A and B are shown apart, each in its own frame.
Chain A
Amino acid sequence: MSTQASRSAARVMLSPAVISLLIWMIVPLVLTLWFSFQRYNLLYPDRAGFVGFYNYTTFVASPDFIQAIINTLLLVAGVLLITVIGGILLALLIDQPIWGQGYVRILVIAPFFIMPPVAALVWKNMFMNPTNGLFAEAFKALGLTPFDFLGDAPLISIIIIVAWQWLPFATLILLTALQSLSSEEIEAAEMDGAPAHKRFWFIILPHLSRAITVVILIQTIFLLGVLVEILVTTNGGPGTASTTLTFLVYKQSILNSDVGKAAAGGVVAVILANIVAVFLMRAIGKNLDA
Chain B
Amino acid sequence: MARAVTTRRKTLTTLAAWGIALLIFFPILWMILTSFKTEQDAVLSPPVWFWFDWTTENYVTVMDRANYFRFFMNSVIIAIGSTALGLLIAIPAAWSMAFVPGAKTKDLLMWMLSTKMMPGVAVLVPIYLIFIKLKLLDTHFGLIIVIMLINLPIIIWMLYTYFKEIPGEILEAARMDGATLRSEILYVLLPMAIPGIASTVLLNIILAWNEAFWTITLTTVDAAPLTKFISSFSSPQGLFYAKLSAASTMAIAPILIMGWFSQKQLVRGLTFGAVK
Q: Which residues of A are at the interface with B, using a C-beta cutoff of 8 A?
A: 1-2, 6-7, 9-11, 13-14, 16-18, 20-21, 24-25, 27-29, 31-32, 35, 90, 93-101, 103-127, 132, 134, 137, 140-141, 164, 167-169, 172-173, 176-181, 183, 186-187, 210-211, 214, 218, 221, 224-225, 227-228, 231-233, 235, 245-246, 249-250, 253-254, 259, 262-263, 265-267, 269-270, 272-274, 276-277, 280-281, 283-285, 287-288
Contact = CB atoms under 8 A, between A and B. Distances in A.
Of the candidates A95, A123, A232, the one having the most CB atoms from chain B within 10 angstroms of its own CB is: A232
B56 interface: no
A16 B92 contact: yes
Given A17-B89, A137-B47, A273-B118, A288 B109 contact: yes
18 contacts: A13-B92, A14-B92, A14-B93, A20-B149, A28-B130, A35-B126, A90-B20, A99-B10, A108-B21, A108-B24, A113-B210, A113-B255, A123-B27, A186-B1, A221-B117, A263-B125, A270-B119, A287-B274
Contacts of A121: 230-231, 233-234, 244, 248
Interface in B214-265: 216-217, 226-227, 230-231, 233-234, 236, 241, 244-245, 248, 251-252, 255-256, 258-260, 263-264
Contact of B152 (A21, A90, A276): A21
Nearest to B229: A117
A183 B275 contact: no
A18 B96 CA distance: 12
B50 to A, nearest CB: 15
B267 A276 contact: no
A267 B122 contact: yes
Q: Which 10 A-B pairs have the closest CB atoms?
A: A13-B92, A10-B96, A28-B123, A31-B126, A17-B93, A113-B259, A266-B122, A277-B117, A117-B231, A10-B100
Nearest to B146: A24
Interface residues of B, number: 100
A110 B116 CA distance: 24
Contacts of B119: 224-225, 246, 266, 269-270, 272-273
A266 B123 contact: yes
A228 B216 contact: yes
Interface in B72-99: 89-90, 92-93, 95-97, 99
Contacts of B156: 17
Interface stretch (B28-36, B57-65, B186-194): B28-36
Q: Is the interface of B mostly helix, strand, loop or mixed?
A: helix
Contact of B217 (A118, A127, A250): A250
Contacts of B226: 115
Given A11-B96, A225-B121, A27 B126 contact: yes
B234 A231 contact: yes
B259 A112 contact: yes
A98 B275 contact: no
B67 interface: no
A42 to B, nearest CB: 8
Contacts of B227: 115-117, 228
Given A99-B10, A121-B244, A21 B47 contact: no
A177 B267 CA distance: 10
Contact of B46 (A141, A232, A270): A141
Contacts of A18: 93, 108
A13 B233 contact: no
A269 B260 contact: no
A253 B10 CA distance: 55
A245 B245 CA distance: 31
Interface in B173-192: 181
Given A96-B17, A269-B121, 14 more contacts: A35-B125, A104-B18, A108-B25, A112-B266, A117-B230, A118-B230, A121-B248, A122-B31, A180-B276, A227-B216, A228-B227, A231-B216, A253-B125, A265-B121
B263 A109 contact: yes
A168 B24 contact: yes
